[in-house]
């Protein structure tokens, strides 16, 4: 029987590819995000070409009440969540600290840190009661090395890194795995969102090298869930072969 996988931010990019990968492998997926139309389309697609089921929950992860209501609304057959993928997130703006827009900072903090906390807090009681579960948090190479104009985005991903480490310690006695997957540059809607729709600037981010695809990241996230119950990948950094870390790229 398929597992139940709860994925935040499944309307595009990594989350969508993660939902597809798990569904293609026989798992049932709870797909979430704000853009309901996209999620409904993904559900239709998954259910028409795989044996798996998809459940759509549309909510803004920045809103604590909406997050808890969404999890509380799960029908009984969808409640036994095996894997939670905390993926929803964004970068807003790429500016020096003194030029940055504080609305952007708050959006990133509210989504990348507080949203991840709300959702994890809403889902962990289910895992604790079952004494099993796997939480996979999507960090970033930005958590590992901060870069110019990355200030608050890097800080939110460092927070994801720290939260994951402490979650892992606190979940130890309950048999719940906590993994953090830190991708490097990947071509999704990420840069269009960060650069506020500036297509030329977004395209330039990936010029001269082959970046990761959403499917590459999905494959790695899926792999983390295929290991025996006594084995946990704690922290995993994945980059394109042409990227060594936040700073070094081989562009041709």
Q: Is 24:48 a contact under the CB 8 Å cutoff?
A: no
Q: Which of these is catalytic: 118, 153, 206, 222?
A: 153
89 binds ligand NDP (CB under 6 A): yes
Residue nearest to ligand 8X3 (CB): 140
Token code pair at residue 194: 């960060």
**For ligand 8X3, the closer CB: 234 or 245:** 245
Q: Cα(87)–Cα(55) distance, rounded to whole angstroms?
A: 17
- Please say which residue, 175 or 209, places its beta carbon nearer to ligand NDP: 209
Minimum distance, C-beta of residue 125 to ligand 8X3, in the bound complex (Å): 30
Residue 153: active-site member: yes
Question: Per rule CB under 6 A, is residue 222 in the interface with ligand NDP?
Answer: no
Binding mask 168-207 for ligand NDP (x = CB under 6 A): ---------------x-xx-xxx--x--------------
Distance of CA 47 to the CA centre of its chain: 22
- Identify the CA nearest to 116 among candidates 108, 127, 125: 108
Dihedrals phi, psi of 157, to nearest 5 degrees: -75, -30
Q: How many CA atoms lie within 13 A of 190 on its CB side?
A: 24
- Note the Cα 23 to chain centre separation in Å: 17
Contact window for ligand NDP (CB under 6 A) among 54-62, 161-169, 223-231, 241-249: 54-62
Residues in the site for ligand 8X3, rule: CB under 6 A? 140-142, 185, 246
How far is it, in rounded angstroms, from Cα 218 to Cα 108?
23
Indicate the residue among 25 and 213 with the shorter CB distance to ligand NDP: 213
Active site (catalytic) residues: 153
């Amino acid at each position: 029987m398929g597992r139940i996988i709860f994925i935040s931010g499944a309307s595009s990019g990594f989350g969508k590819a993660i939902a597809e990968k798990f569904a293609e492998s026989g798992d049932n997926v709870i797909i979430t995000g704000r853009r309901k139309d996209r999620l409904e389309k993904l559900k239709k697609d998954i259910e028409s070409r795989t044996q798996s089921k998809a459940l759509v929950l549309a909510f803004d992860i920045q809103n604590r009440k909406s997050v808890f209501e969404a999890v509380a609304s799960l029908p009984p057959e969808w409640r036994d969540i095996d894997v939670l993928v905390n993926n929803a997130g964004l970068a807003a703006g790429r500016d020096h600290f003194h030029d940055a827009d504080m609305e952007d900072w708050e959006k990133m903090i509210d989504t990348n840190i507080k949203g991840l906390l709300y959702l994890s807090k809403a889902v962990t009681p289910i895992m604790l009661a079952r004494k099993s579960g796997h939480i996979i948090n999507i960090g970033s190479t930005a958590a590992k090395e901060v870069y110019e104009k990355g200030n608050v985005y890097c800080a939110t991903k460092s927070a994801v890194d720290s939260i994951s480490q402490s979650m892992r310690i606190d979940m130890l006695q309950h048999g719940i795995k906590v993994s953090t997957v830190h991708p490097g540059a990947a071509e999704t809607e990420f840069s269009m969102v960060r650069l506020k729709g500036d297509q030329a600037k977004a395209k330039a981010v990936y010029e001269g090298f082959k970046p990761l695809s959403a499917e590459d990241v999905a494959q790695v996230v899926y792999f983390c869930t295929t290991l025996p119950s006594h084995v946990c990948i704690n922290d995993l950094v994945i980059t394109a072969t042409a990227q060594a870390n936040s700073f070094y790229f081989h562009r041709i």
